[in-house]
Amino acid sequence: AEDGYDLWLRYQPLSGASQSLCDPAVDLSGPVAQGVQLQAQRSATVDIAVAELHRGLASLFRCESQKPTILLARTDQLSGKEAQFSEGLRGQMAGSYRLATMADGRILIAANDDIGLLYGSFGLLRHLQTDSANQKLDQLAIPALPLRLLNHWDNPDRGVERGYSGESIFDWWHLPDHLDPRMIDYARANASIGINGTVVNNVNASPIMLTPRYIAKLQRLADAFRPYGIRVYLSVRFSSPRELGGLDSADPLDPKVAAWWKSKADEIYAAIPDFGGFLVKANSEGQPGPQDYGRTHADGANMLATAIGDRGTVIWRAFVYQSSAETDRVKLAYEEFKPLDGKFADNVILQVKNGPLDFQPREPFHPLFGAMPHTRMMLEVQQTKEYLGFATHLAYLGTMWTEVLDANTGHGKNGHLTVADTIVSGGMAGVSNIGSDRNWSGSHFDQANWYAFGRLAWDTSLSADAIAREWAAQTFSRNPQFLNVTVKMMHDSRQAVVDYMTPLGLAHQMATGHHYGPGPWVNDLERPEWNPAYYNRADKSGIGFDRTKNGSDALGQYAPSVASGWSDPHTMDEDYLLWFQHLPWNFRTQSGRTVWEELVARYDRGVAKTHEMQREWAALAPYVDAQRYQDVADDLKVQAREAQWWRDASVSYFASRCECDLPAGATAPP
């Protein structure tokens, strides 16, 4: 059944001219199996690569031929003329590979290591399905970032924080005795897009994950994932020495505490020699941390870094805030971490969310990027759409992530340093949208966000549209008409959500707790910085959050060139207008409309887009199998209805604050 389980690895038969791989120009001697010749020592990883090529080629080409058309070779095994192909690979990061058509017509997949051979095999299969397979191939693929990690917010009871695709795929109850075969499919899918690590549990971590029983379970997973190049990591609770170790403190400078963590790390490494390390959420949203003992984040991180040593990494999250009405919440991470630049151990990475608030439909990039040149940084994005309509609304996030990766922080030598540049020694982390639903991600199009994350973490310079295109070609259909329309839908989809939920730079307008649906009027929560009204600041005089010098001066945390770009409401990028400015309702925007009129126009534009997406998808029915077509059509219908709900509720509320009439031509909310 076409239920989405196969993800982008469906390998639908190619038609037309690309049968060439069935008909090799030459016959070769040597260890040959079904079209793949091996010039590498066998290993679990190499065997998986060969099996994947067999599976892919057999399905794509329906080959009868058993002749070798592909040479899978470790660079240290290449000699003579073929040695030239290892050149670009010398000294490159683990997993790098080269694809090339050789003089005799065979295709070479070359890599320095086994995982590169596996990535190269997936790379070739992707290439065959997305580009013209008859082109002469010469492609060097080198990962942009060392760490490309999923972050699962999964609890040991299989509940998933902010998960919308069923329960956790990690079946802790039956582990370690039973390994769900789906774990292999999971590893394979991740390897196919270059993901090389997974943090298996929620950042709001249960200490149970560090008990011997759970370490044994984790070991079973690690053994299963290892051949796919995936290392396991754990989120840890900073107070575990108290909860598990019976100590009366978790003070990072207490030698007993440090010794407890060291022996815990040793215990884990004895079971899992390539254990990736710890991810820590500390002193944020009620989680324990070093500040409970008057210590800094660096004290906490460095103590754990010593326990781990050169065996792995401590990833420390910068998502911190405490309740404080006086301080603008978006400033807190910078205030706490900027002074610690250069104080973290070499094996500590600071993991920073894309924006300074919390995974909103749109935020400016986080001011910490580029501001801590002596600290390794990792970009955290959210695949699961906590604030973008869960798995129901179609929102392709490739456009959001390229927006942040490409953003110029204004730091660096010539004032040109993109966010992507600031994470080259760290990596990217994606809060996973994977669950036990048959289609993994809760909806077919949400698979694209998993896919796009992996592809961007591998190559931060890829365009969101190019990724959408290759994903759609592998997932649905290679028909050019289908692809053109689908890529356009995907391209526009996230902006549509921005428009009908939080236009013009508004943020955090979602209903309380679950974050689904509108709540801009909410103003009575116990913590002020949780209130939507705290963020929109709408009253008779105007709307928006003044973050200029006259207000919270969050703008002052950006490099001067960037800050100046966002300081003048007349000229700035209006996508961030009300994020940085509080403006009177009758302020003229660049369209000539007042803020009030522009706001309503954008809500309307978002709603209109959801109807357009429904029409576009309807026209694609001939290209998509019935089940997946209907699944998507059903979701789009809900999205259109809920976009209208968002628009009507928000417009009504803001009209009441503004005491404004609806702009001419606008429909009155019911």
Q: Which residues bind ligand GCU (CB under 6 A)?
A: 161-162, 203-204, 281, 319, 358, 386
Cβ atoms of residues 147 and 196 within 8 Å: yes
Among the options 358, 363, 403, 598, which is catalytic? 358
Strand, coil or helix: 164: coil
- Residue 187, both tokens: 């590893």
Query: Which CB sits closer to ligand GCU, 161 or 180?
Result: 161
Among the options 87, 131, 285, 568, which is catalytic? 285
d(CA 286, CA 618): 47
Q: For residue 315, give the amino acid letter.
A: I
2 among known catalytic residues: no
d(CA 466, CA 424): 22
CB of 610 to ligand GCU, least distance (A): 25
Residues 6+ apart with CB under 8 A from 496: 395, 605, 606, 609, 610, 613, 643
Query: Which CB sits closer to ligand GCU, 201 or 589?
Result: 201
Query: Which CB sits closer to ligand GCU, 235 or 474?
Result: 235
Query: Which CB sits closer to ligand GCU, 514 or 549?
Result: 514
Query: Which CB sits closer to ligand GCU, 37 or 287?
Result: 287
d(CA 233, CA 314): 9
Between CA 155 and CA 166, with CA 161 as vertex, the angle to 5 degrees is 85
Burial of 636 (0-12, 13-18, 19+ CB in 10 A): buried
Query: Which CB sits closer to ligand GCU, 158 or 611?
Result: 158
Crossing angle between the packed helical segments 464-475 and 114-130, to the nearest 10 degrees: 80
Cβ atoms of residues 575 and 505 within 8 Å: yes
d(CA 460, CA 143): 9
For the beta sheet containing 107-111, the strands, ordered from the edge strand earlier in sequence to the opposite edge, are 32-33, 36-39, 70-74, 107-111, 97-101, 138-141
d(CA 185, CA 195): 13
CB of 353 to ligand GCU, least distance (A): 7
**Chain length of the chain:** 670
> How would you classify the pairing of strands 107-111 and 97-101?
antiparallel
Burial of 124 (0-12, 13-18, 19+ CB in 10 A): buried
Query: Which CB sits closer to ligand GCU, 203 or 457?
Result: 203
Query: Which CB sits closer to ligand GCU, 67 or 353?
Result: 353
CB of 167 to ligand GCU, least distance (A): 17
Query: Which CB sits closer to ligand GCU, 9 or 280?
Result: 280
CB of 333 to ligand GCU, least distance (A): 12
Strand, coil or helix: 36: strand
Q: Which of 318, 312, 311, 309 is nearest to 429 (CA)?
A: 318
CB of 407 to ligand GCU, least distance (A): 21
CB of 203 to ligand GCU, least distance (A): 5
CB of 609 to ligand GCU, least distance (A): 26
Cβ atoms of residues 50 and 97 within 8 Å: no
CB of 284 to ligand GCU, least distance (A): 6
CB of 352 to ligand GCU, least distance (A): 11
465 among known catalytic residues: no
End-to-end Cα separation, the chain, in angstroms: 42
d(CA 1, CA 631): 13
DSSP structure string for 420-461: HHHTTTSEEEEE----SSTTSSSSTTTHHHHHHHHHHHH-TT
CB of 42 to ligand GCU, least distance (A): 42
Query: Which CB sits closer to ligand GCU, 65 or 204?
Result: 204
Cβ atoms of residues 106 and 24 within 8 Å: yes
Among the options 386, 492, 598, 642, which is catalytic? 386
Strand, coil or helix: 109: strand
Strand, coil or helix: 175: coil
CB of 336 to ligand GCU, least distance (A): 15
358 among known catalytic residues: yes
Cβ atoms of residues 11 and 125 within 8 Å: yes
Q: For residue 411, give the amino acid letter.
A: H
d(CA 495, CA 487): 14
d(CA 371, CA 369): 5
d(CA 392, CA 502): 18
Query: Which CB sits closer to ligand GCU, 161 or 406?
Result: 161
Q: Which of 607, 611, 603, 590 is nearest to 662 (CA)?
A: 603
Query: Which CB sits closer to ligand GCU, 116 or 355?
Result: 355
CB of 138 to ligand GCU, least distance (A): 42
d(CA 356, CA 380): 11
d(CA 535, CA 551): 13
Eight-state DSSP code of residue 233: E
Catalytic residues: 285, 358, 386
